[in-house]
Amino acid sequence: MDILYQDEALLVVNKPAGLSTLPDGYNPTLPHIKSMLEQQAGRLWVVHRLDKDTSGVLLLARTAEAHRSLNTQFEKHLVSKLYHALVIGDPEWQQKTIYLPLRPNGDRHHRTVVDQVKGKPAVTHLRLLERLGKYCLVEAVPETGRTHQIRAHLAAMGLSIVGDKLYADRQSGSPLKMESQPQGDIDFAPKLIEGMGLHALSLEISHPLSGQRLKFDAPYPIGWVDFLRQLGP
């Protein structure tokens, strides 16, 4: 696991896919990021989470004071987050902003669902970066921080993240309304992509001690690099 930045207040890593941020609720004996890093860095406070199968920038605080400051920044939407997603589908748009309210665990399959009545406001800005045959590379900037927000919003647009079987499984009664359906022979988990095709590319915060604006960037996993090279021109 690559360390992107560390000082007396912060520890920032490039989280690999396949590791949970915190203990698994069903099997707490499984390794997780917090316990692994605490063996070397001492006590850590989790500021935000990435899904187990999502890779990229993960920020942890090294003091309770830093944790409080960073929590406030997240709550007040003073943090800038940028993700890249490898998805199956061919959207007609080049840029699109999704305004769909979301309700976490809104079905019997632990999915976040679009719910116009009980859902909380959620906004995601999307930009198509590259078309790659039946796949495409999409930039996603979440303005809010709802559980599974990017995954649920992309699914609502008829786009399946590579390897994300939870939201791609349309045979299990997902209440998400699809605008369109990906066509063709879909492979949900290309062998080169570990976890799923969602990567937290960058995170920008104000340092809890100095107030300086800092941006952290996480390179693509090797599997992504190889996958894009094979699909590229």
Q: What is the 3-state secondary structure (H, E, C) of the chain?
A: CEEEEECCCEEEEEECCCCECCCCCCCCCCCEHHHHHHHHHCCCEECCCCCCCCEEEEEEECCHHHHHHHHHHHHCCCCEEEEEEEEECCCCCCEEEEECCEECCCCCCCCCEECCCCCECCEEEEEEEEEECCEEEEEEEECCCCCCHHHHHHHHCCCEECCCHHHHCCCCCCCCCCCCCCCCCCCCCCCCCCCCCEEEEEEEEECCCCCCEEEEECCCCHHHHHHHHHHCC
Per-block average pLDDT, block size 10, for the chain (233 residues)?
Answer: 94 94 68 87 93 95 97 95 95 96 85 93 97 93 94 93 80 35 42 87 98 97 90 71
At residue 170, the pLDDT reads 43
Looking at every residue in the chain, the average pLDDT score rounds to 87
**60-109 per-position pLDDT tens digit:** 999 999 999 999 999 999 999 999 999 999 999 999 999 999 999 878 77
Check: pTM over 0.95? Answer yes or no: no
- Pick the catalytic residue: 2, 51, 169, 226? 51
Annotation says 51 is catalytic: yes
